[in-house]
């Protein structure tokens, strides 16, 4: 029980203000709260199972900068996809191609790859030597923390117009993606090459965002 409580408190505090909590808020502004919360639980359970079982192995074999970089790029793509997404009118009756639960679950799974809460789960499993209690402690902590973001997102859905919701959600994903790339490439490249890559990625992101926004008429 000590492992469950310790893991719950540790990850709950680590998740406060983290990117996945903010993503919960952004997603809940578009999808039903129960869909988002279900997706958070599924994605966290799978991701933290991976962290408990093979997280340490992954950090040894695959460089952490590569994991973080791939996750960051996926968030920029997801942000652009959000701008190109379907209308939010009747969203609860007309789900996306993959459905809201699967869409959110994939995004949250990717967000947790290389994140501090995933690494914390690995450390907690080593410390307590009780994988099951650590797994459920960290998973429920993530759901509890992200529920706060979801509640705020539900309020936003009632007061912010569709155009604003799209830009808010897309901006959130893109900002996290760019910040993740910034943190990963500066670990392996010199400042000149790192800044060159950053500027190229930002320029391409702005260009495609502009093209999509014009096409969707969401300026």
pLDDT value of position 55: 54
pLDDT value of position 91: 36
Residue 28 CB neighbour total at 10 angstroms: 28
Local structure of residue 98 (DSSP, 8 states): T
pLDDT value of position 114: 74
Q: What's the total number of domains in the chain? A: 1
Q: Which domain holds residue 97?
A: 2-216
Do residues 84 and 216 make contact, with C-beta atoms less than 8 angstroms apart? yes
Local structure of residue 99 (DSSP, 8 states): -
Give the separation between CA 194 and CA 187, rounded to whole angstroms.
Answer: 9
Give the separation between CA 10 and CA 114, rounded to whole angstroms.
Answer: 17
Radius of gyration of the chain (CA): 18
Please count the residues of the chain: 219
**If we measure between CA atoms, which residue out of 100, 108, 99 comes closest to residue 23?**
108
The dihedral built from the CA positions of residue 47, 50, 56 and 60, taken in this order, carries a sign that is negative
Looking up tokens 């192995």 gives 57
DSSP string, 14-68: HHTT-HHHHHHHHHHTTS-HHHHHHHHHHHHHHHHHHIIIIIHHHHHHS-HHHHH
Provide CB contacts within 8 A for 160, sequence distance 6+. Answer: 29, 168
pLDDT value of position 176: 80
Cα-based angle 128, 123, 44 (whole degrees, multiple of 5): 100
pLDDT value of position 8: 93
Local structure of residue 130 (DSSP, 8 states): -
Alpha helices by DSSP H, the chain: 2-15, 19-28, 33-50, 56-61, 64-83, 100-112, 116-128, 131-159, 162-185, 191-216
pLDDT one digit per residue (tens) for the chain, 219 residues: 888 998 898 888 777 767 778 788 878 877 888 898 999 999 999 999 988 886 556 556 767 677 678 778 877 887 887 787 544 344 334 455 668 899 889 888 888 887 778 878 887 786 777 888 989 999 999 999 888 777 776 666 667 676 776 787 788 778 888 988 888 888 788 889 999 999 999 999 999 999 988 887 776
The dihedral built from the CA positions of residue 17, 142, 121 and 124, taken in this order, carries a sign that is positive
């Amino acid at each position: 029980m000590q492992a469950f409580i310790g893991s719950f408190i540790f990850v709950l505090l680590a998740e406060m203000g983290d990117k996945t909590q903010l993503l919960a808020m952004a997603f809940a502004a578009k999808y039903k709260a129960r869909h988002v919360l279900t997706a958070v639980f599924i994605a966290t359970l799978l991701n933290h199972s991976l962290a408990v079982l093979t997280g340490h192995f992954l950090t040894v074999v695959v460089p952490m900068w590569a994991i973080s970089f791939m996750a960051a790029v996926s968030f920029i793509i997801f942000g652009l996809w959000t701008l190109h997404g379907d209308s939010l009118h009747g969203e609860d009756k007309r789900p996306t191609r993959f459905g809201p639960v699967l869409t959110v679950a994939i995004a949250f799974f990717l967000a947790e790859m290389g994140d501090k809460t995933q690494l914390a789960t690995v450390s907690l499993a080593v410390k307590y030597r009780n994988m099951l209690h650590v797994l459920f402690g960290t998973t429920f902590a993530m759901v509890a923390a992200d529920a706060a973001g979801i509640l705020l997102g539900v309020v936003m859905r009632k007061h912010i117009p569709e155009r604003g919701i799209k830009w808010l959600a897309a901006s959130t994903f893109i900002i996290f993606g760019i910040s993740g790339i910034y943190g990963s490439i500066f670990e392996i490249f010199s400042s000149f090459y790192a800044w060159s890559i950053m500027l190229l990625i930002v320029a391409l992101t702005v260009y495609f965002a502009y093209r999509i926004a014009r096409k969707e008429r969401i300026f």
